[in-house]
Chain A
Amino acid sequence: MTLSIALTHAFGAFTLDATFQAPPGITVLFGRSGSGKTTIVNAVAGLLTPDRGRIAFGERVLLDTDTGIALPPHRRALGVIFQEGRLFPHLSVKANLLYGRRFARGRAPSVHLDHVIEMLGIGPLLARRPGRLSGGEKQRVAIGRALLADPDLILADEPLAALDQSRKDEILPYFERLRDETPVPVLYVSHSEQEVARLATWVVALNQGRISAQGSATEILGDPMVTPAGARAAGALIEAEVAAHHDDGLTELAAGPARLLVPRVAQAPGAALRVRIAAQDVILARERPQGLSALNVLAGQVAALRPGEGPGTIVSVTTLAGTVLARITGRSAAALELAPGVACHVIIKTLSIAPGDVGRINRT
């Protein structure tokens, strides 16, 4: 089922005006802080009543300011995963997980406690109190608690923002499993390109209260005109399959007819992946370079250039593997005489691809 959202809300000088639909899967609301993401999530959760708006999940209307419908939070059948977890400190992990259970509307629950515990790997934590959990463990429990309320929709409000990179790497696979193993759609707020790259089925990019673009993760991240997290964090997505694991710790990926070497991934040959190539780490060359240590050289054509406000320029290059973004200086772009249609080579260091940049593909 699809979540339809149309909202206008003003506070102070800021106005939010957003209309979009979130299809099944993970829809990432993507933008910098202050772009209005959290306002949208709070309005969907019922924690904030917008000036005007309509929010419906399938046929079920949660809010309609024109007809005066505004369901209170506890009747919206949602599960919210907050940035700070918000676990109940006086209850055990198990009691936290089961808190929303008794309110799951009469029907047979579609998710089972045992399955959730197994999926999130929290079996050994059940008797503990949240005060004795690490940040990553807390967020895993928070995911389980939201899921076990048997919600129509899960809202995740920057659930990884308070965690360090290794904790993020720990949690991201659980969101992938949430996306791939449960039927519950997720509206996921983030300002991280990496999370979009790993998780998004659909991306809604927000900029200063307006929707600047929406589309699949590959479309949005590969568009040099849309870099909601800033040029520094830009990076395109390449979809690929695991072709072979090599003995020297590398994995060979097949991206269309092109081949990419990345550090060893866990998935078996044949598995579909998506790999984020940070624009910052890409080098462009007009000639095919010789005697170079970088292992990945892809031939392609410049599709578009977007000069930034500083010295940088983002160049999108169409290659056989897909669209790649490169962030180079304006000086280099001029020296190489880069323009749409010009042939060039994209150079990607294998080790610039971190484990967090490689995610499973969402098969729907």
Chain B
Amino acid sequence: MTAFLGPEEWQAVLLSLKVAAWATVASLPFGILAAHALARWSFPGKTLLNMAVHLPLVLPPVVTGYLLLLAFGRQGWLGGALAEIGVVFAFHWTGAALAAAIMAFPLMVRAIRLSIEAVDPKLEEAAATLGAPRPWIFLTVTLPLILPGVIAGAILAFAKAIGEFGATITFVSNIPGETRTLPSAVYAFLQAPSGEDAAVRLVLVAIAIAMAALLLSEWVAQRVARRVGS
């Protein structure tokens, strides 16, 4: 692979994998929580939460990136406070992960929410009558039953995070080795007069990663479905 890809290209691929992995893992608990809230809870502001979750899906990515810059930039209203406790997003790979996570969030929540809605609430009621408090019911009944949906949502989010471009480049720019992910690298190579070969190689890698993710999700979902059995 290192022979096939130049060091700069290889760096972009590794960075993309790191960014997407962090984006997926760090947003997963929030994704499950939001999906559960949307599927099962009733509370004032539920419509608002639903809109907020889905907004990145319909907003132009550049707008999302700009809003992130306003909020988490060095002078942003959150970025300044976070910088004081050592958390920096602006022009940093963590910012690319944040942008990717936010852009992938609606896809993740949708997949998990569908699987939660497919769980019969009567099973959760049955668990309650056996003495189980709600958090325990979630961990021992709901979560195992929605596992295939959670995995599907995570893999979908990972694939989306790998490909995220617009919000990322707006928010954290295109700094080699720091924020130049695979799509940003393809873009950069295509801008250079002699970069087309490198761009094609990266495109092939992107296709390979996407297909591997799909195959993996299929395989895992089948295994889990067999284990959860019905």
A residues adjacent to B (C-beta < 8 A): 45-47, 72-80, 82, 84, 86, 88-90, 99-100, 103-104, 129, 131, 145-146, 149, 155
Question: Smallest CB-CB separation from A78: which chain B residue?
Answer: B129
User: Which B residues are CB-close (under 8 A) to A100?
Assistant: 130-132
Q: Look across to chain B and name the residue whose beta carbon is closest to the beta carbon of A129.
A: B229
A79 and B129: CB pair below 8 A? yes
A217 to chain B, nearest CB (A): 27
Q: How far is the CA of A213 from the CA of B128 in the complex (A)?
A: 32
Partner of B229, one of A46, A76, A90: A90
Please tell me if the beta carbons of A84 and B122 are within 8 angstroms of each other in the complex: yes
Q: Top 7 closest A-B pairs, CB basis?
A: A103-B131, A100-B130, A86-B126, A73-B128, A80-B129, A90-B228, A90-B144
Q: Which of B133, B144, B229 has the most CB of A within 10 A?
A: B229
Partner among B123, B128, B229 whose Cβ is within 8 Å of the Cβ of A74: B128
Asked whether B228 lies within 8 Å of A145 as measured between CB atoms, the reply is no
Instruction: Give me 26 A-to-B residue pairs in the complex whose CB atoms sit less than 8 angstroms apart, sorted by A's number.
Output: A47-B125, A73-B128, A73-B129, A74-B129, A74-B130, A74-B131, A74-B133, A74-B134, A76-B129, A78-B129, A80-B129, A86-B120, A86-B125, A88-B141, A89-B145, A90-B145, A90-B227, A99-B130, A99-B132, A100-B131, A100-B132, A103-B131, A103-B132, A129-B229, A149-B131, A155-B129
Interface residues in B139-192 (C-beta closer than 8 Å to A): 140-141, 144-145
In the bound complex, how far is the Cα of B85 from the Cα of A254, in angstroms?
88
Contact indicator B230/A89 (Cβ below 8 Å): yes
**Contact in complex: B126, A80 (CB < 8 Å):** yes
Q: Does B127 contact A (CB under 8 A)?
A: yes
By the criterion CB–CB under 8 Å, are A145 and B229 in contact? no
Set of chain A residues within 8 Å of B140, measured between Cβ atoms: 99
Rounded to whole angstroms, the CA-CA distance of A80 and B134 in the bound complex is 17
Please give the residue numbers on chain B whose beta carbons come within 8 Å of chain A beta carbons, in ascending order.
120, 122-123, 125-134, 140-141, 144-145, 227-230
Dominant SS among interface residues on chain B? helix
The 8 Å CB contact of A99, one of B120, B127, B144, is B127
Q: Is the CB of A82 within 8 A of B122?
A: yes
A-B pairs with beta carbons under 8 A, tally: 68
Q: Which of A72, A79, A84 lies in contact with B130, CB distance below 8 A?
A: A79
Chain A residues with CB under 8 Å of B141's CB are: 88, 90
Known A82-B122, A84-B122: A89·B129 in contact at CB below 8 Å: no
From B127, B128, B145, give the contact of A72 (CB < 8 A).
B128
Q: How far is the CA of A84 from the CA of B123 in the complex (A)?
A: 10
State the Cβ distance, A147 to closest chain B Cβ, in Å. Answer: 11
> How far apart are B153's CB and chain A's nearest CB, in angstroms?
18
B141's nearest neighbour on chain A, judged by CB, is A88
Q: Closest Cβ of chain B: how far from A284's Cβ, in Å?
A: 47
The distance in angstroms between the C-alpha atoms of A68 and B133, with both chains bound, is 21
- Report B-chain residues with C-beta under 8 Å of the C-beta of A90: 141, 144-145, 227-229
A82 close to B126 (CB less than 8 A): yes
Other A-B pairs, 19, CB within 8 Å; known A86-B123, A103-B131, A131-B229: A47-B125, A72-B128, A73-B128, A74-B130, A74-B131, A74-B132, A74-B133, A76-B129, A82-B122, A86-B122, A86-B125, A88-B123, A88-B126, A89-B123, A90-B228, A99-B140, A100-B132, A131-B230, A149-B130
